[in-house]
Amino acid sequence: MQTWSFWVDRGGTFTDIIAVSTNGDYHSIKVLSEDPDHYHDAVSFGIQSFLSEQHPTIPKENLSTLISEIKMGTTVATNALLERKGAATLLVVNQGFEDLMIIRDQSRANLFDQNIRRQSPLYRHVIGISARLDADGNEVVKLDKEAIKSQLLKFYQQGNQAIAIALMHSYRNPLHEQEVAELAKKIGYTTIVLSHQASPAPKLLPRAETTLIDAYLSPVVHDYVSRLQQTFRDTPIYFMQSNGHLVNAHLFDGKDAVLSGPAGGIVAMAKTANAAGFNKVIGFDMGGTSTDVSLYRGRFEITSNSEIQGTSLRVPMLAVHTVAAGGGSQLSFDGEKFSVGPASVGAHPGPVSYGRGEQLAVTDINVICGKIRSEYFPHVFGHNGQSPLDFERCRRAFESLQKEINKKLDSSFSVHEIAEQFLSIAVNAMANAIKTISTQKGIELTDYALNAFGGAGGQHACLVAEALGIDKIFIHAESSLLSAYGMGCSDIGQESEHYFGQPFSDSIWQEINDLSHQQFIEHKHKLAKIEGDLQHQIVCWLNYQGSDLTLAVTYDQYETMQQSFHRQHQERFGFSNELARIEIQKAHLSTQVSQPLIERKAEQLKPKDIQEHDVWFNDQFIKTSFIAAESIDYEQPIIGPVIIYDSNTTIVVEPNWQIKKTKGDHFSLSKLRKTKVENYNDTKLNPSRLEIFNSLYRHIAEQMGAVLQNTAQSVNIKERLDFSCALFDRTGNLIANAPHMPVHLGSMSDSVKHVIHKNLPFQKGDCFLLNSPYHGGTHLPDITVISPVFIQEELRFWVASRGHHADIGGITPGSMPAHSQSIEDEGVVIECFALIKGHQLDLAGLKRLLTTGKYPVRNFDQNLADLKAQVAANQRGISELQHACKSYGEETISAYMNHVQDYAANAVGRAVAKFSPCSFAIDMDCGAHLNLSISPLKNQGLHFDFSGSSSQLNNNFNAPRSVAKAAILYVLRSLINEDLPLNEGCIRPVKITIPDGSMLSPTYPAAVVAGNVETSQVITDLVFGALGLQASAQGTMNNLTFGNAKYQYYETIAGGSGAGNHYDGCDGVQTHMTNSRITDPEILEMRFPVSLEQFKIRTSSGGSGKHKGGNGLIRRIRFLTEMTVSILSNNRINTPFGIHGGSPGIAGENRLISIDDGWKELPSSCELTVNAGEAIEIRTPGGGGYGFNESDSNESGYSDSGSPQNCSTE
């Protein structure tokens, strides 16, 4: 009897099903994923409807006997996560960490958005238990079973059905997690997930979040699987995991299901291209709302760390990068600049041409340009769902936009020119996404083929390939159903993971070998009934000792694995160290039953069906053939332009490309002539190219940041991300930055300009160091590496990277002394040192500079390692800029650096035009007084006058002029509600007056270490307060430094953000001039002799008001050995001000906790020796409230330190 195999991709909008029979019949089915008026489940409906149609005489209850297997990917878990519809879940953590899933790493996602929002936590309830292990897994405090039992019972009775247990250092010793799990099982919890099993590796936050996701989603996934199994009884059902492997339905869990659908597409992308002769492939999956890009180079790219919806997920997953550019991405014009996305019109109402929507989208571009025509496209549109594409409606919408654009710009663009310019922006966004996954790995894209799939992939493949210099494209016959097709060709398997966390040695290698034999025997037994060849694989995750960066290395001979690791490290990060010790974190063992590619039977060619129409290509209409795919002869090249279409796919073959149909009804496209990526060779402003070049400059800065983070060794840079990267024009003006540290970004241009003004004989390969606060630096630990960029033989640009070094000398470890009175107390001052001259590293000179002064650095090797990482980041920026000049022309690159600054200046000018004269004053704990008056300038601008602020201080809260500039620049950029890189243009509409010799313009040898971190925050609040926009944030960075001769550590601790006109403040988040992450609790305890006892939200510390200020944090660190501790903070005496009737936030507190938990208060700034057994507790301030709350007795709403006047806007 004929039976059927079904391959299913249950997507968010449509469910795609491919049915393949034992007789070789091949069918495709597409149904809506949600249609509650007609069916409860799309998969069941689609399969049963198909079988009823094919076998009308067989009763419905017997249809399952016709199914040999079902293989599927599903968005069930993804949707539950997006919609927050998972199981009621209880989270169990250590006492003191109950708020960790809210605080996370304390950074904010959008640097300039003052309305800071976080995803709501996945758990319903959380409890903290007193049991603790140390960093080696030794039990410090036993589990109180009776206490935890009563709590577990209480929350079980409140409806929690799932429990996630994530305890400190459980990957070292699972004892406490197992004890809690045993109690939960007896009580009746049905889903119990333990972190040491869900993600057996260090770093508490990602392990806990992975555990929580698994507990939250697994009941939903299991419920769906159960219902499907009831419908198709006795049918083998396999589900696609995020790692690209199918597993039996009963093994399908929540944590492995989040990218189930896209994984199928990636597998199919690789296997189909490989079968066609391509072993280096870029996957290009363009859908309605977004585009997914992926990479295959003879092996799948696997990542073990992802972030999904603001939550870390640490499981092996196929690497995919998503960009918000799809067929439904909105087209917009703001009066100066064209933009595409990130907003999408969605499937409903959809693009204008769909007959219901009002907002033009990318799909409408192809309609108006004639690349998509209604007669060759399904008639499924309009309000009745049966109408063709509405060309006239689309034309009218573009004509309306044309009138607006030409009026605003005094231009004469045609409708089609406008459409093509929007299309170039969308293509650029998708090309940049591909560059992101390739350039970070040092990959040359010209060696790759593009495998285009998804509903819109074929329409844009040629343009994206051209933008990348790719000259080969493959489009599979099932390109519009490729994710479903991938279910059929993906391997079925069993997997296991084992944590090691120790040096990689010959004995460990042998242990893995022995373990694998045992595991593979078990796997083979479980897969015995599945036909196909068995394949075993072991992947080990290795890293250099002292680095948290792991690379996946396939198990091989011991020496071969070491060589492979060194080689991968060199390829990925530009360096390797064969003398360094290698560690192994974990081994992933899998056994797969390989599945063959099954191609549909070649269709009989139909009579030629060719029609000609005018289509807009490259600024002109060209008479273009439209050919039905089923009528094209095999292996006969067709020269573009030409449009190939079938019922599911449209392929646009651009001019200078050719296409041919290959065996299996696939299509292969190739470039006719090798041409460079488009060279605009045009310096005149074009509004569509503003977005393209903004994205280009930002992409370069982001690539620099990725290199720096990956290659650095210190916790400050690698873990806390206390660094910034940027590029500058020839004169040192900031052009673009990655979203790093605002206090760095606003001041780095002054450092670059200082190097320029030295007027040295610059040459290729130069690198200069600078940290002097009197020459563009901020404070001494922030070292800037500055490099000139030569194009041909001419210096055209600059790149720079700034990183906070763990120690730069000075009177205290960590170089953040509380009581420094001169710059020499704070460390080594570097005005302009040539680290590299003409490609030659001056190592001896650097060592003299850093180690021979009055207060030398304490760890030269770490300084050197981080400086080398900064040099590598600069080199990436140089190579990317040079490549951009080859692509677009150096004159164009330079011209658009000016254009993007002009645009930013105009945007800021418009934003500040509404402000009237206003003033504000703030007092600081250190005794300083800051005063600001703001008045409008002619021609849209503001004058910021700091006259009346304190004179130069005898303490270290002096701030260099560049810090005030950085704070103003940050506030001005925050006023612009669009995705615009911070650049020098933002400061153009501004005049800044700072009296010489004041605390904001100190002279040598003034101490400044707190000015960068503390005074900068107060200046920012001062500006926001004067403008009347927002209450004070915590007004401090809560700097904590500790160390001795062996250890040096520095962190800044988040607090409450200030409330604004339409929003509450956010709890426990980095604000304003910093966005550094906090070190993971386990990493902190592994690397330093301390115990982190509390890291939680300080409830009721935010100011009340119509909108409440955010709460601060409580962080307690107990020391296991004697350390010197330094604290630099503010708002311990004064309070963060409220505004417009809002109450102030609660002031912070610094405490020394004794061995017996008694405590004494410490001042805002202090330095002390902390003995073993004692602890430091930092209670950070809350943010101020906004607006009068009638239930609040504080009618003034202002603290004593804030006095806003005339804050109205016109």
On whether both 44 and 149 belong to a single domain, the answer is no
Residue of 868, 876, 504 whose CA lies nearest to 713:
868
pLDDT of residue 71: 95
Q: What is the mean pLDDT of the chain?
A: 89
Q: Which of 58-62, 742-746, 857-861 has the highest mean pLDDT?
A: 857-861
Q: What is the rounded CA–CA span in Å between residue 257 and residue 240?
A: 7
HEC secondary structure over 319-371: CCEEECCCCCEEEEECCCCEEEEEEECCCCCCCHHHCCCCCCEHHHHHHHCCC
pLDDT of residue 1199: 37
Q: How buried is 687 (Cβ within 10 angstroms: 0-12 exposed, 13-18 middle, 19+ buried)? A: buried
Comparing 319-323, 522-526, 569-573, 807-811, the range with the smallest average pLDDT is 569-573
Q: Please count the other Cβ atoms lying within 10 Å of the Cβ belonging to residue 12.
A: 16
pLDDT of residue 441: 66
Structure-token match 């963060």, residue found: 1136
C-beta of residue 1153 within 8 angstroms of C-beta of residue 1177: yes
β-pairing, 237-240 with 67-74?
Answer: parallel
pLDDT of residue 805: 92
Is 571 contained in some domain?
Answer: yes
> What burial letters (b/e) apply to 877-914, b meaning 16+ CB within 10 Å?
bbebbbebbebbbbebbbbbbebbbbbbbbbbbbbbee
Is 666 contained in some domain?
Answer: no
Would you state the structure tokens that stand for residue 138, as one six-digit string?
């030794």
On whether both 306 and 316 belong to a single domain, the answer is yes
Q: What is the rounded CA–CA span in Å between residue 787 and residue 835?
A: 10
Reported as a single tens digit per residue, the pLDDT across 1165-1183 is 999 999 999 999 999 999 9
pLDDT of residue 844: 94
On whether both 196 and 165 belong to a single domain, the answer is yes
- pLDDT greater at residue 454 or residue 1071: 1071
Q: Please count the other Cβ atoms lying within 10 Å of the Cβ belonging to residue 581.
A: 12
Q: Please count the other Cβ atoms lying within 10 Å of the Cβ belonging to residue 321.
A: 18
Reported as a single tens digit per residue, the pLDDT across 597-618 is 777 766 666 777 788 999 999 9
Which domain covers residue 243, as residue numbers?
Answer: 4-80+228-256
With 70 as the cut, is the pLDDT of residue 709 above it? yes
Residue 1028: pLDDT band (50, 70, 90) is: very high
Is 988 contained in some domain?
Answer: no
- pLDDT greater at residue 298 or residue 74: 74
With 90 as the cut, is the pLDDT of residue 1069 above it? yes
Reported as a single tens digit per residue, the pLDDT across 898-939 is 999 999 898 888 889 889 999 999 999 999 999 999 999 987
On whether both 293 and 245 belong to a single domain, the answer is no
Q: What is the rounded CA–CA span in Å between residue 661 and residue 402?
A: 39
Torsion angle defined by CA atoms of residues 716, 717, 722 and 728, in that order, rounded to the nearest 10 degrees: 150
Q: How buried is 146 (Cβ within 10 angstroms: 0-12 exposed, 13-18 middle, 19+ buried)? A: exposed
- What's the CATH code of the domain at 67? 3.30.420
On whether both 1207 and 1096 belong to a single domain, the answer is yes
Is 626 contained in some domain?
Answer: no
Reported as a single tens digit per residue, the pLDDT across 1032-1063 is 999 999 999 999 888 889 899 999 999 999 99
pLDDT of residue 442: 64
On whether both 750 and 835 belong to a single domain, the answer is yes
Domain boundary among 455, 471, 488: 488
On whether both 1065 and 1156 belong to a single domain, the answer is yes
On whether both 557 and 534 belong to a single domain, the answer is yes
Reported as a single tens digit per residue, the pLDDT across 976-1009 is 887 777 889 988 899 999 999 999 999 999 999 9
pLDDT of residue 977: 80
On whether both 565 and 708 belong to a single domain, the answer is no
On whether both 53 and 126 belong to a single domain, the answer is no
Comparing 53-67, 570-584, 1064-1078, 1080-1094, the range with the smallest average pLDDT is 570-584
pLDDT of residue 1204: 47
On whether both 1207 and 1058 belong to a single domain, the answer is yes
Give the mean model confidence (pLDDT) for residues 754-774.
91
Percentage above 90 pLDDT, the chain: 57
With 90 as the cut, is the pLDDT of residue 675 above it? no
Domain boundary among 593, 608, 641: 593
Reported as a single tens digit per residue, the pLDDT across 800-831 is 999 989 899 999 888 889 899 999 999 999 99
With 60 as the cut, is the pLDDT of residue 135 above it? yes
> What burial letters (b/e) apply to 47-78, b meaning 16+ CB within 10 Å?
bbebbeebeeeeeeeebbebbebbbbbbbbbb
Q: Please count the other Cβ atoms lying within 10 Å of the Cβ belonging to residue 400.
A: 12
pLDDT of residue 325: 77
Residue 746: pLDDT band (50, 70, 90) is: low
Is 1068 contained in some domain?
Answer: yes
Phi, psi of 388 (to 5 degrees): -75, 175
Rounded to two decimals, what is the model's pTM? 0.86
Reported as a single tens digit per residue, the pLDDT across 174-207 is 999 999 999 999 999 999 999 999 998 899 999 9
HEC secondary structure over 608-646: CCEEEEEEEECCEEEEEEEEEHHHCCECCCEECCEEEEC
Give the mean model confidence (pLDDT) for residues 76-105.
93
H-type alpha helices, 469-557: 482-489, 506-526
- What's the CATH code of the domain at 577? 3.30.1490
Reported as a single tens digit per residue, the pLDDT across 337-384 is 888 887 777 666 778 888 877 889 999 999 999 998 888 877 767 777
Reported as a single tens digit per residue, the pLDDT across 506-560 is 999 999 999 888 888 888 877 777 777 788 889 898 988 877 678 889 999 999 9
Residue 307: pLDDT band (50, 70, 90) is: confident
Is 465 contained in some domain?
Answer: yes
On whether both 706 and 765 belong to a single domain, the answer is yes
Percentage above 70 pLDDT, the chain: 95
Phi, psi of 1162 (to 5 degrees): -110, 155
The number of distinct structural domains making up the chain is: 7
Is 1015 contained in some domain?
Answer: no
Is 519 contained in some domain?
Answer: yes
Domain boundary among 593, 619, 651: 593
Comparing 82-96, 255-269, 523-537, 784-798, the range with the smallest average pLDDT is 523-537
pLDDT of residue 301: 83
Residue 895: pLDDT band (50, 70, 90) is: very high
